[in-house]
Structure 1
Amino acid sequence: MYRKRQKMSVANIGATILAAFVGAIVVPMPMQSQQVTINPENRAVRDEADRLLDVGYTQLKDGKTREAIKTWLYAIGYYRRVNDQAAISYTLARVSDAYELLGASNAAQDTSRQRIGYANTLQDNGAKLESSNNLVSFEIAQGKLESASKLNKATLELSTKNEQGLNTAIALNNKGLIAERYGNHLEALKQYYASIKVHPIREAIGEGYTYINSGDSLMALDNYKAAITDYGMALTIARQHRNYKLMSVASDRIIAAYLEVPNFYRIEELLQNRSSLALVMGDQETAAIVQRYLGDLYLSFGNLPKARAAYQESYDFAAMLGDNTSLPLREAYYKLQELERL
């Protein structure tokens, strides 16, 4: 098949190099003039593409992210043979998410741009908005606030016009993040709360992270009590949905806020819960660090028996890491030694 040669941008080159490391296939951008009708011939090709899509999901679930990317890109190759551009667009979204998990932001961005190309051809505003929101998030993280603001403005207008609740909520959250990066925390709060208002119920975890963002802006404004309220909302959502990642983020934030108030008895409870959560997540290092903080808290109360017990647990958790030179282990050891001299 004849393919038109195109000059590659620096971003495309970077994505292609990374793709080579995972054995990926470069997916060409569609032209507006392309036909979007699916070729019904050769059902076996379509079946193989669907099988590879499922295999990729299994690989990702098993922690084999690079293998999942490779598998999905091969699936895209099969979908191209039957010209199923909707399936290509869907699979590109999975590839972009997987690249993001690997920390390969350039490749994730390039894949999102490819998906926007297919979304334009298919006139699929949902896919276009989803990928556009992802691109805005990447640019915010990279400090490219001017370009992020420009793209986010267009994305917010389109999502509002098309009554896309989730994409509107994400775009408003991104607008808040941009304002926050510029130091305008009052404007950021306005956008965060607007995002929460339109957030679909089925996407509660995203709402939880928006409460984390609003809490951060409130902390920057020294409004610690209001920050505790918003972090508490995020923690409640996380517990309702048993989302350990959000639970840990919200717990860390709310502990920091209570240190500013302060409420040491509430901090004690939160530190105990945070240590238990870390163990449930298999994160002995964090559990060791939290127990050391708990020991420091008890020591400030003058409760030496509780401080000793907390430091000992910190040492035991750190010892589970199997590294006798680890910082958590050494810090717990020194704390126990200092306690013996009191």
Structure 2
Amino acid sequence: MKQQYFFLKHGIWHFAGLQISDRVRPLHWLSFYFLVFAFLLSPIAAGAADITQQLHRPLSNSSWRQSRDQADSLLHVGEQQYASGYSDKTIESCLQALNIYRSVGDIKAQGLTYDLLANAYIQQGQFKEGEDALRRRLAIARDTKDFQAQIFALNNIASLLLQAGEPVPAGKTIEEALAIAHNVENIEGEGLSLSNLGLVTARLGDYNKAIKLYETALTFRRQTGDSFGEANTLNNLGDAYLAARNYQDTIGSYGAAMRIAKINSDRTNQLRAIDGLVTAHTAVGRYERAFELLAQRLTLANQSQNLREELKSFESYARLYEQLGNYPSARNFYERAIILARTLEDNKQEVRLIDRLTQMLKR
């Protein structure tokens, strides 16, 4: 399995929280993006030695293989559940897989499982549990001297610090990751860390410096042929230009990200780029283009059968129609979004959408 990593995006867009990551790819796989909640997180350290103590008695070779295959199957199911937006189910699958990996003494697989588990917890808004999973991942990486995993884990922890409103500690954590990447000549890690350092810098309001960091990050990501990372950094660059109200370069950056993501069937970055383009085109009055992009967004969500992304598409339609004063159409899309929230049993989303619809109807 390839190392997974993500990085929550900084909050300069229309959504209310940081979104997953630098890249969200399956664990056999691995890009993001990406988006602005505020929670205080308590560091919870956990060493690989603690995990080792939980190992069961040695199993026979046949039992070991059977158990290992069962854990691998659970992890694969968890990946599919996460890709479909069912992070609660992902958590259940990961915890079951972890118990088996512990019993057979597979430390490496535990580390990879913690990656996915952290993503799932964070998507569920369980940030303390997400941080715990990340710190366990980091502990395993340090004990096994897995420098690449350390780089990614440190970046992920920094994402939570940034989301909790602590950009300075987040920046220091990323700088630690960048130093490791530089020392071991890990170009991929340097690209990731520089891109995420740009996120921190943008959060601090220095968009010009952030833009320079993103441009430097792009050179590393292109050296490794990291198309997922390149698309994510281009989206980050678009975010910075958008915050600086440089709409021409905003559209150029998001457009490049969308093209690369489309070629690589990278729906996460493609959807994120579309969201940015919709915002930029709307800002300059290009409403027809904004609606064309929303149609593409909804098609992508339908193709991947991702109900959460369908919900986001409906809400984006509703907001745009509301902005244009077309309240009947806005109401229609809000109601469709509410139905999906109920289908997903997402009470918070349902209440939020109902409230927004109610406020609109009072006008």
TM-score by length of 2: 0.68
CA distance in 1, matches of 2:164, 2:288: 39
- What is residue 92 of structure 2 aligned with on the other side? 67
- In the alignment, which residue of structure 1 is the partner of 2:70? 51
Quick check: 1:53–1:71 contact (8 Å CA) kept in 2? Answer: no
Cα deviation digits, residues 79-121 of structure 1 (max 9, x gap): 33xxx43333333333333333333222222222222222222
| Max Rg structure | 1
Partner of 1:221 in structure 2?
244
1:141-290 equivalent positions in 2, closer than 5 A: 141-199=163-221, 203-277=226-300, 279-280=302-303, 281-282=306-307, 283=310, 286-287=313-314, 289-290=316-317
Matched AA of 1:270: L
SS in 2 for 1:183: coil
Q: Which aligned pairs between 1:26-45 and structure 2 lie closer than 5 A?
A: 29-30=48-49, 42-44=60-62
Determine which of 332, 338, 344 is the counterpart of 1:315.
332
Number of equivalences: 295
The whole-number CA distance in structure 2 between the counterparts of 1:108 and 1:320 is 27
Q: Is the 8 A contact 2:317 2:330 kept in 1?
A: no
Give the superposition deviation at 1:211: 1.5
Residue 28 of structure 2 aligns with which residue? none
Determine the C-alpha separation between the residues in 2 that align with 1:162 and 1:194.
19
Aligned partners of 2:318 and 2:330 also within 8 Å: yes
CA distance in 1, matches of 2:275, 2:314: 12
- Tell me if structure 2 keeps the 8 A contact 1:53–1:75: no
Structure 2: state its 5+ residue gaps.
1-40, 343-352
Contact residue 94 and residue 113 of structure 2 kept, 8 A: no
Measured in 2, the distance between the counterparts of 1:176 and 1:275 equals 30
Hey, what's the Cα distance between the residues in 2 that align with 1:67 and 1:75? 13
Relative to its length, the structure with more helix (as a share) is 1
Q: Secondary structure at the match of 2:279?
A: helix
For the 8 Å contact 2:48–2:143, the answer to whether it is kept is no
* Aligned residue type for 1:79: V
Deviation (angstroms), 1:136? 1.4
| Structure 1 stretches lacking a partner, 5+ long | 1-8, 16-26, 300-306
Q: CA RMSD of the aligned region, Å? A: 3.7
Q: In structure 2, what is the Cα distance between the partners aligned to 1:113 and 1:256?
A: 36
Q: Is the 8 A contact 2:68 2:100 kept in 1?
A: yes
Change (3 A) 1:321 1:222: closer
Identity, in percent, stands at: 22
Could you report, residue by residue, the CA deviation over 1:1-57 in whole angstroms, capped at 9, with x for unpaired residues?
xxxxxxxx9644xx9xxxxxxxxxxx75328xx9xxxx9973245321342232232
**Alpha carbons of 1:267 and 1:61: their partners in 2 closer, same or farther (altered >3 Å)?**
closer
Tell me the SS of whatever aligns to 2:48. coil
**Partners of 2:147 and 2:130 in 1: CA distance:** 19
**Partner of residue 303, structure 1:** none
Deviates further, 135-144 or 193-202: 193-202
Q: Contact (CA 8 Å) 1:116, 1:132: kept in 2 or not?
A: yes
Q: State which drifts further: 181-190 or 286-295.
A: 286-295
Look up the match of 1:77: 102
Partners of 1:314 and 1:277 lie apart in 2 by: 23
Give the one of 139, 143, 156 matched to 1:134: 156
**1:284-322 CA deviation, whole Å, 9 max, x = no partner?**
57336516735976x8xxxxxxx8xx9569738845855
